[in-house]
């Protein structure tokens, strides 16, 4: 329990990436360029999917929603980070921090299930192509996407409730550029049992199943591709899921490192770089990965 002479913290300090003044300009320009590319790439992907009849299929319906989630994830993190680097505004209010916890929790889990849904879509397309129109019909695709957002909303609400029960006083500095749940728990001076339970439960019940869906789907996909006799057939089959596999590897790899791998406090220095990967870099890379490696998207751009 917090002491009676301890006042609740009303502001947190985000000190990640702003300690060395000599590198602030380079960091600002790099993250600004990354954010602009994220906006242009994801908005361009959404507009292209809506405008091109060639891309009116379940796979690109999921991709359009993924682009929207990437845009939202980057927008709730990067502008605040740019202000911290350029203006030196390290402080963020308690309410602003809780808003970041909610929105990030919402979109992170939504992206997990969208990627899992896309993996299942590729599984049906490659392993059961004749059944694809019967399995991935528009109503089911809409329900899968809606379910992804609802699960993300459940996670966001749960994480916010868990954080709102914590008490903070004394040190409020986080060596990161946004309000991360695990670091907030470590800063709390009150009983963190409920928050840890919510974090572990959401990771186990929401994050792990989505990873398992991706793994099982790709085991079946790879097995099917290897059974194809012609080299051209293998190449075409693999090209339909190579872009998604690249996006999955970077996103889930960073999340597993941040929230599922046990480690000591002295080994948490890599957290900020893992966070940069899945909050800043991955949302920028995804539209370009799908544009450069997908024949249908390149054809739609040319048209």
Q: Half-sphere exposure of residue 167, counting CA atoms within 13 Å on the CB side?
A: 11
Average pLDDT, the chain: 83
Q: Given this model, what pLDDT does residue 4 score?
A: 53
Domain of residue 151: give its range: 11-302
pLDDT per position as a tens digit, 110-154: 999 999 999 999 999 989 989 999 999 999 999 999 999 999 999
Q: Given this model, what pLDDT does residue 266 score?
A: 46
Q: With respect to residue 21, please indicate whether it lies within any of the assigned structural domains.
A: yes
Residues above pLDDT 90, as percent of the chain: 29
Residue 236 pLDDT exceeds 80:
no
Q: d(Cα 84, Cα 76) in Å, to the nearest integer?
A: 14
Number of H helices, E strands in the chain: 13, 3
Q: Given this model, what pLDDT does residue 186 score?
A: 81
Q: With respect to residue 113, please indicate whether it lies within any of the assigned structural domains.
A: yes
Residue 111 and residue 42 in contact, taking contact as beta carbons nearer than 8 Å: no
pLDDT per position as a tens digit, 186-208: 888 777 887 888 888 887 888 88
The predicted model gives 2-10 an average pLDDT of 63
Q: d(Cα 108, Cα 148) in Å, to the nearest integer?
A: 10
Q: With respect to residue 1, please indicate whether it lies within any of the assigned structural domains.
A: no
Q: d(Cα 151, Cα 101) in Å, to the nearest integer?
A: 15
The CATH number of residue 105's host domain is 1.20.1070.10
The predicted model gives 92-121 an average pLDDT of 90
Q: With respect to residue 55, please indicate whether it lies within any of the assigned structural domains.
A: yes
Split into its structural domains, the chain has a count of 1
Q: With respect to residue 134, please indicate whether it lies within any of the assigned structural domains.
A: yes
pLDDT per position as a tens digit, 240-279: 777 778 788 878 777 777 666 655 554 555 567 777 777 8
Q: Which of 10-19, 124-133, 204-213, 225-234 has the highest mean pLDDT?
A: 124-133
Q: With respect to residue 2, please indicate whether it lies within any of the assigned structural domains.
A: no
Rounded to 10 degrees, the C-alpha dihedral 76/180/69/241 comes to: 140
Confidence band (pLDDT; 50, 70, 90) for 85? confident
Q: With respect to residue 147, please indicate whether it lies within any of the assigned structural domains.
A: yes
């Amino acid at each position: 329990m917090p002491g009676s002479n301890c006042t609740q913290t009303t502001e947190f300090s985000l000190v990640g990436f702003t300690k060395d003044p000599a590198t602030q300009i380079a960091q600002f320009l790099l993250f600004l360029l990354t954010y602009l590319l994220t906006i242009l790439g994801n908005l361009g992907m959404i507009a292209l999917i809506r405008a091109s009849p060639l891309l009116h299929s379940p796979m690109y319906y999921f991709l359009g929603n993924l682009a929207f989630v990437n845009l939202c994830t980057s927008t709730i993190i990067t502008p605040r980070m740019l202000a911290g680097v350029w203006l030196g505004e390290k402080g963020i209010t308690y309410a602003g921090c809780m808003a970041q916890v909610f929105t990030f929790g919402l979109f992170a889990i939504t992206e997990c299930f969208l990627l899992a849904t896309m993996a299942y879509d590729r599984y049906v397309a490659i392993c059961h192509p004749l059944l694809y129109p019967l399995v991935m019909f528009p109503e089911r695709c809409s329900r899968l996407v809606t379910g992804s957002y609802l699960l993300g909303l459940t996670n966001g609400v749960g994480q916010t409730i868990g954080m709102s029960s914590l008490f903070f006083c004394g040190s409020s500095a986080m060596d990161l550029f946004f309000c991360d749940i695990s670091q907030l728990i470590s800063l709390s001076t009150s009983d963190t049992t409920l928050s840890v339970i919510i974090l572990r439960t959401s990771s186990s019940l929401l994050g792990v199943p989505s990873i398992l869906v991706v793994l099982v789907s790709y085991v079946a996909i790879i097995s099917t591709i290897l059974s194809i006799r012609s080299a051209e057939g293998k190449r075409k089959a693999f090209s339909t899921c190579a872009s998604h596999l690249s996006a999955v590897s970077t996103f889930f790899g960073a999340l597993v490192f941040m929230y599922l791998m046990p480690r000591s406090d002295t080994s948490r220095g890599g957290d900020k770089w893992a966070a940069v990967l899945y909050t800043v870099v991955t949302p920028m890379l995804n539209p370009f990965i799908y544009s450069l490696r997908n024949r249908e998207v390149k054809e739609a751009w040319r048209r």
